[in-house]
Amino acid sequence: MRKKLLALLLILVMITFAVSGCKKSNTIKIGTIMSTSGPVSTYGIQTRDAIKMAIEEINAQGGVLGKKVELIVEDDEKNPEKTMNALIKLATKDKVTAILGGLTSDCTLAITKEAQQRNVLLLTPTSTNDLVTDAGDLIFRSCFKDSFQGSVVARFAIETLGAKKAAVLYDMNNDYSNGLTKSFRETFEALGGALVAVESYAGGDKDFNAQITKIKAADPDVFFIPDYYNTISLVIKQVGNQGLNATMLGADGWDELTGQAGDEAIGSYFSNHYSPDADDPDVVAFVQKYREKYNVTPNALAALGYDATYILLEAMERAGSTDPQKVKEALMETNRKFVTGNIQFDEQHNPVKSVTMLRIIKGADGKLATEYVGMVNP
């Protein structure tokens, strides 16, 4: 009798494991590491929500490879150490098939080598630092890189604004800010312009008056400030207080600045990944769906997150597998139009795509808004 009970128990255990295995096989696990708290939480929340929305749409259409997609979200608080912890958890405990993230370049750079070594395919929607994809063949991005973005802003300053002298104020401890400064400087000088002042600060600084005083004395035509919106809002206010009249320029980190800055930002320009006001049908549809779902206009990083999700999951479908090597090969075949433009990947796994230039204006409602200026193609 005891032997029969033990045999029955063994059968039940085997059935339990089998059922458990079937349940696991019915979903494809995708991880995302987003800074949904901390200094750039507005970006992280919107990007996460866009990824969720894309996955809900894909699941409603039948999922991927006949399975539902399950999203596991980790918050790194824009802390590279926490990004690493999140990667390890997603790879070992959750056993995700791929990861969308991180959000910012410093956080993503902290995990690219680890992801490659662990055979985890990593696609960052939003990290623009040039070095992000250098870690190996499983690291991709769906946004343009800083060397292209910084170069575009420099060309715009000279060719469109007629600038001859430029000043730069950057965060010396931030990979994003450093990369943009380097590419802006190289292109501006190559096109015949002169950098008359280059000043720096450390992340977390609140007082920039000393640097602005030096920049004002150099009398630049344009003033390039490559950082995120929360810092930029402080810098621009102090620029206004000092009466510096140079045209201020920024990059995609300025997105959301209109909700933070005052009238001193009017007339500034910045590069971005898309404009929510564009009349492109894909943009219109995305913005409408996002507004209806979350009651907010999606910023550029949300659009990138949405695109990255479709890029990744469509590649899995084409590959007929979630195996990282097969998905990698399918990603390299990507070549179609998404919300942020037509996307295909170069040999370094960077997308070949356009840059949108925006100007900050005062809207009819008296609030700051952005105005589409033009598109710069690769």
Same domain, 238 and 372: yes
Q: Which region among 3-12, 110-119, 291-300 has the lowest average model confidence (pLDDT)?
A: 3-12
**78 shares a domain with 63:** yes
Domain check: are 61 and 83 in the same one? yes
Residue 6 lies in a domain: no
Q: Is there a single domain that holds both residue 255 and residue 362?
A: yes
Residues near 254 by Cβ (< 8 Å), separated by ≥ 6? 228, 229, 232, 268, 270, 272
pLDDT value of residue 35:
97
In the chain, what percentage of residues exceed pLDDT 70? 93
DSSP 100-154: EE-SSHHHHHTTHHHHHHTT-EEEESS---GGGGGG-TTEEESS--HHHHHHHHH
62 torsion bin: left (phi>0), alpha (psi -120 to 50), beta (else): left
Q: How far apart are CA 226 and CA 105, in angstroms?
A: 13
Q: Residue 265: which CATH number? A: 3.40.50.2300
pTM of the model: 0.83
On whether both 80 and 132 belong to a single domain, the answer is: yes
- Name the domain count of the chain: 2
Give the pLDDT of residue 23.
45
pLDDT, tens digit, for every residue of 145-193?
988 999 999 999 999 999 999 999 999 999 899 999 999 999 999 999 9
Among candidate residues 118, 123, 191, 184, the one with its CA nearest the CA of residue 149 = 184
Give tens-digit pLDDT for 65-113: 999 999 999 999 999 999 999 999 999 999 999 999 999 999 999 999 9
Cα–Cα distance measured from residue 235 to residue 253, given in angstroms and rounded to the nearest whole number: 14
Distance from C-alpha of 39 to C-alpha of 110, rounded to nearest angstrom = 18
Where in the sequence is the domain holding 79, given as residue range(s)? 11-144+280-345
The string of pLDDT tens digits covering residues 192-245 is 999 999 999 998 999 999 999 999 999 999 999 999 999 999 999 999 999 999
| 267 and 286 both lie in a single domain | no
**121 shares a domain with 35:** yes
Name which of 95, 85, 100 is nearest 32 in CA terms.
100
CA–CA dist 41, 214 (Å, integer): 32
Is 350 a domain residue?
Answer: no
- Residue 374: its pLDDT value, please? 85
Any domain includes 352: no
Would residue 331 count as lying in a domain? yes
Among residues of the chain, what percentage have pLDDT more than 90? 87
Q: Answer for the pair 37, 44: CB distance below 8 angstroms, yes or no.
A: yes
> Residues 192, 158: contact at Cβ < 8 Å?
yes
Does a structural domain hold residue 317?
yes
Confirm whether 205 is domain-assigned: yes
Per-residue pLDDT, 375: 81
Please tell me whether residues 263 and 364 are part of one structural domain.
Answer: yes
Tally the C-alpha atoms within 13 A of residue 142's C-alpha that lie toward its C-beta.
Answer: 35
Q: Which residues contact 302 (CB under 8 A, 6 or more apart)?
A: 46, 47, 49, 50, 290
Q: How confident is the model at residue 19 (pLDDT cuts 50, 70, 90)?
A: very low
State whether 104 and 220 are in the same domain. no
Look at residue 323 and tell me whether its pLDDT is greater than 70: yes
Q: Is residue 3 part of a domain?
A: no
pLDDT for position 377: 76
**Predicted confidence band at 369 (pLDDT cuts at 50, 70, 90)?**
very high
Asked if residue 260 lies in contact with residue 204, where contact means CB atoms within 8 angstroms, the answer is no
* Torsion over CA: 142, 202, 179, 239 (sign): positive
Query: CB atoms < 10 A from the CB of 14, how many?
Result: 10
**What pLDDT, on the 0 to 100 scale, is given for residue 11?**
53
Residue 5 has pLDDT above 90, yes or no: no
Q: Do 254 and 158 fall into the same domain?
A: yes
251 in the same domain as 295:
no
> Do residues 123 and 199 lie in contact, with contact meaning Cβ atoms separated by under 8 Å?
no
Which one has a higher pLDDT value, 333 or 16? 333
For residue 175, give the amino acid letter.
Answer: D
Confidence at 3, pLDDT banded by 50, 70, 90? low
Examine residue 2 and state whether it is found in any structural domain, yes or no.
Answer: no
Contact 109, 180 (CB under 8 A): no
Residues 225 and 361 in one domain: yes
